[in-house]
Amino acid sequence: MFSALAHAAGLLVLVLLGTIIVLLFVGGLPAFRAFGAGFLTSSAWNPVTNHFGALVSVYGTVVSSILALIMAVPLAFGVAFFLTELAPGWMRRPVGTAIELLAAVPSIIYGMWGFFVLAPLIGTTIKPWLASTLGHVPVIGDVFRAIPGDSSIFTAALVLAVMITPFIAATMRDVFLTVPVIFKESAFGLGCTPWEVVWSVVLPTTRASVIGGIMLGLGRALGETMAVTFVIGNTNRINPSIFAPGNTIASLVALEFPEAESGSLQLSSLLALGFILFVISFIVLAISRMLLPQRGRV
């Protein structure tokens, strides 16, 4: 009976996953038929004229998630390194618990904090500084060009980085603790510093799980909705500057889904965007699975 229940649970997951994929694809099929491959390359989004495209929201989703990962991974690694190698014993549990509690904060709270505190701070300090220092550099200058307004892809990425850091840091800390103590003691006996032990012993041993934690954070960033909606600006255009407003698939669906009429091309386009987001998440997972055999497993 237990074996049958276990098999049924596994099959149920596959059935639910397949049902979601089919429903999203069937719901978005009218949009794919109406616009064809141009749906993926078009930046139009006009409910009045029934012209829709996914390019802007896909661009915002990918760019904001990658920026969030670039900011979150070093911070999460630093937290995990501190908790496992440098922090005194009495400090490790409280700090570790505090990091895990950050993951329990509702996303709308992060969105409100980003809108009322972080966005004005970026607009008055970080954006002018980056624009004055890197905004005039050839090739990359347009990326850091100052754009009027506080809401931007960079602000959304920073909020996402704060949100996904607890997930990545907690995973890294847990897998770092699984490294046999004798490995570390042997490295210390050879004269290695704590940094050399982590870089040369701990990370090679736990790379697979570390990559899994990073991909977990990326998955959270790709699908985040309310926190991003508060601070990204929700503008349907592409600008090379990270300080320009934009939108993501999740924020666009959240804003327009309640207003979309049943059976309309707008609703079909939103469902098509949901299907595209599902495909992006699947590609990220597939890439992570391809990388794991090259890194070894814990």
Residue 296's pLDDT band, with cuts at 50, 70 and 90, is: very low
Between the ranges 44-53, 111-120, 180-189, where is the mean pLDDT highest? 111-120
pLDDT at res. 177: 86
| pLDDT at residue 295, as a whole number | 44
Residue of higher predicted confidence among 3 and 292: 3
Q: Which residues have a Cβ under 8 Å from the Cβ of 228 and sit 6 or more positions away? A: 64, 111, 156, 159, 160, 248, 250, 251
First-to-final CA distance of the chain = 32
- Residue 207: which pLDDT band, with cuts at 50, 70 and 90? confident
Share of the chain above pLDDT 90, in %: 34
Residue 222: pLDDT over 80: yes
Q: What are the pLDDT digits (tens) for 93-112? A: 888 888 888 888 888 899 99
- In terms of Cβ atoms closer than 10 Å to its own Cβ (0-12, 13-18, 19+), residue 295 is middle
* pLDDT band (50, 70, 90) for residue 297: very low
**pLDDT on residue 291:** 62
User: Is 2 a residue whose pLDDT tops 80?
Assistant: yes
Q: Under 8 Å CB-to-CB from 292, ≥6 apart: which residues?
A: 208, 211, 212
| pLDDT value of position 249 | 92
Distance CA 31, CA 265 (A): 6
Position 298 pLDDT exceeds 50: no
Give the position of tokens 């618990």: 97
- Supply the pLDDT for residue 225: 87
**pLDDT of res. 91:** 85
Q: Establish how many alpha carbons lie within 13 A of residue 173's alpha carbon, considering only the half-sphere containing its beta carbon.
A: 23
Compute the Cα dihedral for 172, 175, 177, 179 and give only its sign: negative
Tens digits of residue pLDDT in 147-157:
888 889 999 99
Q: What is the mean pLDDT of the chain?
A: 87
pLDDT value of position 292: 57
Residue-wise pLDDT tens digits, 261-291:
888 888 999 999 999 999 888 888 777 777 6
* Helix, strand or coil, per DSSP, at residue 208: helix
For 115-159, give the secondary structure using H, E and C.
HHHHHHHHHHHHHHHHHHHCCCCCCCHHHHCCCCCCCCHHHHHHH
Domains of the chain: 2-295 (1.10.3720.10)
**Phi, psi dihedrals of residue 246, rounded to the nearest 5°:** -165, -155
